[in-house]
Amino acid sequence: MLIPSILKGQDMPKHLAINATRIRTWATKNNIDIKEAVKKNLEKLKDLIELQIKKDIPLLTIQLSTKNEEEIDGLKKFFKELVLDELIIEKKVRIYVIGNLNALEPDFVDILRNAMDKTKEYDHYFLNFCVKYDGHEEILAATKLLIRKALTEKISIDDLNVEQLKENLSSSYFMAPELMIMNNHHYNGLLLWDAKGSTIYFTDKYWLDFEKKDFDKAIDFFNQNKKKD
């Protein structure tokens, strides 16, 4: 499991997951050109990564929007630059990507794999991106793997348990999120298997309207829930 050797930031979640999607919906709602919305999205992603370091959050998971050509083109540029970013290198941030990469263009997959490969030795912070991710599909894929193992007698059906299913998820490398931020008052299945037990903070704001003060409110909500536990 990819977690730092020293868990930092006691008042911060060790793993924060956030839904950063619905870019086109926001652009349409605000009568803004999609290219401007994509530019704003990339700027906010960079700000969020800087906030991860500043707040000392060991693991950050971001669900990305890839529903149109403009978004994908923007993300290609984003990942090319991210792997060369001084902050990523200085703070030794490991980049990881999960999701249905087979549904992406080969050149985009190459860019994503390069980002993972170039940072594979880093271990101070972990930055996980969900691309073409679906929670149901992740669990279904893990179930199929376990069935194949059972059919080849590598494992016994009677011995199957939740730990084995977790080990076969694409997110098996990471601890479950302690805090999930969901925009538009809607949970979209992000890290579906691991969502149980997570604090989920719902906001009516779109991702592109989400500001630092909103992030602070989510952290306050997380800490209040911890006190109740």
Task: Give a yes or no: residue 164 inside a domain.
Answer: no
Q: What is the pLDDT of residue 229?
A: 64
Task: Give a yes or no: residue 116 inside a domain.
Answer: yes
Task: Give a yes or no: residue 167 inside a domain.
Answer: no
**Number of separate domains in the chain:** 1
Task: Give a yes or no: residue 62 inside a domain.
Answer: yes
For 37, the domain range is 15-134+177-228
Task: Give a yes or no: residue 192 inside a domain.
Answer: yes
Task: Give a yes or no: residue 10 inside a domain.
Answer: no
Look up residue 140 and give its amino acid. L
Task: Give a yes or no: residue 119 inside a domain.
Answer: yes
Where residue 6 falls among pLDDT bands split at 50, 70, 90?
A: very low
Task: Give a yes or no: residue 25 inside a domain.
Answer: yes
CATH number of the domain within which 101 lies: 3.40.1180.10
Give Cβ neighbours of residue 213 (< 8 Å, ≥ 6 apart). Answer: none
pTM for the full model? 0.91
Q: What percent of the chain has pLDDT over 90?
A: 80
pLDDT over 70 at 2, yes or no: no
Phi, then psi, of 99 in degrees rounded to 5: 135, -175
Query: 204 is written with which tokens?
Result: 């009516």
Query: For residue range 19-51, what is the model confidence (pLDDT) as tens digits?
Result: 999 999 999 999 999 999 999 999 999 999 999
